[in-house]
Amino acid sequence: MRRSFYVEDGQLIQEGSALPLVIMLTNFLVKYILNVILAIHPVLYTQMNFNIFYGIVSGFTVGLFFGGIYKTLTAKKEFLKS
């Protein structure tokens, strides 16, 4: 996905996107479901496969946000060079 940036009143502005909202809602829903499953079946805390799955899901969503932040900072550096 290509995001467009522009400078307005000396500030770097990024056009809006619904993608972050979709990612946040999906992240909330999946983690909510996983935590409900953990509340119902506490034995899963000791299951390595469940912990790995939970970590992968959490890491993936965090990685998406950090990737967006990295792209924004990179675009900011490019605009400052110009």
Q: In whole angstroms, how far apart are CA 1 and each of 4, 21, 61?
A: 10, 15, 16
7-56: pLDDT as tens digits: 777 777 777 778 778 888 888 898 899 999 999 999 999 999 999 999 99
pLDDT at residue 40, rounded to an integer: 97
Question: How many angstroms separate the CA atoms of 44 and 64, rounded?
Answer: 26
The Cα 31–Cα 24 span in angstroms is 10
1 has pLDDT over 70: no
Residue 12 DSSP SS3: strand
